[in-house]
Structures are given as structure tokens and as C-alpha cells.
């Protein structure tokens, strides 16, 4: 999708992360601003987390948060932690543009794959990943909170 009204930019400051919070809150409904900012700061510092936004006509309409990982299962890969398009701006190709942007960045930096998890209830997202983006469903993710 070629559009001069679209730009993709990494958000690198606490001010920019705070500006992204209302959009991220649509995905991470359990977070308040203080916890969100604290978690991003820690993840940037400890895990090299990146938060990147897609702007349409200078309005932030989609976000992707990701980090590099190395595991025996996937080798050297990018883990997508967060992907959200504003509920009023869905089905316009913004998620596809962000995932493609991260995929190109991953390839340029020698990563072998991109992986992510998606909540069981997010059937529209699953259809997007599998049918539009050509991702394979390869496992379940399990969680035990304590």
C-alpha cells in the first residue's frame, strides 16, 4: 500500500509512549498509564523492546511492540508482543503494513522468523495472521500466574 499520508515511526521517548497509551489501552485494557510506562521502560532497558506507530495524516492509528529473542525452538527471531489498530480504523491495511515493516527489519538484521501469540477469543486476528499474513499456527501458549 503506497500512501503519502502514511508514516511509520519508532516511539523512543516516554512522552511518545504516553501519547500511544490510549491506543494501546484498546489492547491492554488491564493497564493504567503508570504501569504501562513502567513496563515499557523496563522492557526497552532489559529486552530491547521497540514500540512503533503507524500514522495516517499525522494521527496515530496502529501500534506494534516487539523485541528480539533467541530460543532453541525458533533460533534468532522477533517476538511481536503487541499489535493493535484503532477500533475506528480497522480493515485498512495498517496491521499488515506494521507487520511487514517489522518483517523487513528482521530480515535486514539476520533474524530467521517472527513469532507472536494471540488470545483464544481473537478469531478475527487469527484469520488475519493465517490468511492475510501467511503465519502458521504452531503451538498453544500456556500461562500460570502466581
Residue 64, beta-bridge partner list:
52, 83
Q: Is the pLDDT of residue 1 over 50?
A: no
Q: Is the pLDDT of residue 50 over 80?
A: yes
Domains in the chain, CATH or no CATH each: 6-132 (3.40.630.30)
The model carries a pTM of: 0.87
The mean pLDDT of 14-28, rounded to a whole number, is 97
Q: Is the pLDDT of residue 25 over 80?
A: yes
pLDDT in tens, 81-118: 999 999 999 889 999 999 999 999 999 999 999 988 77
pLDDT in tens, 59-74: 999 999 999 999 999 9
- Contacts made by residues 25-30, CB under 8 angstroms, sequence distance 24+: 26/84, 26/86, 26/87, 27/82, 27/83, 27/84, 28/82
Amino acid at each position: 500500500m503506497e500512501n503519502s499520508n502514511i508514516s511509520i515511526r519508532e516511539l523512543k521517548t516516554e512522552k511518545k509512549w504516553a501519547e500511544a497509551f490510549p491506543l494501546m489501552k484498546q489492547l491492554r485494557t488491564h493497564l493504567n498509564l503508570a504501569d504501562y510506562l513502567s513496563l515499557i521502560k523496563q522492557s526497552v532497558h532489559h529486552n530491547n523492546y521497540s514500540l512503533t506507530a503507524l500514522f495516517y495524516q499525522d494521527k496515530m492509528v496502529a501500534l506494534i511492540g516487539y523485541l528480539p529473542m533467541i530460543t532453541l525452538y525458533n533460533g534468532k527471531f522477533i517476538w511481536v508482543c503487541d499489535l493493535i489498530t484503532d477500533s475506528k480504523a480497522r480493515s485498512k491495511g495498517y496491521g499488515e503494513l506494521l507487520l511487514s515493516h517489522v518483517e523487513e527489519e528482521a530480515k535486514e538484521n539476520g533474524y530467521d522468523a517472527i513469532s507472536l501469540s494471540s488470545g483464544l477469543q481473537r478469531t478475527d486476528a487469527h484469520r488475519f495472521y493465517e490468511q492475510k499474513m501467511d503465519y502458521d499456527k504452531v503451538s498453544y501458549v500456556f500461562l500460570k500466574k502466581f
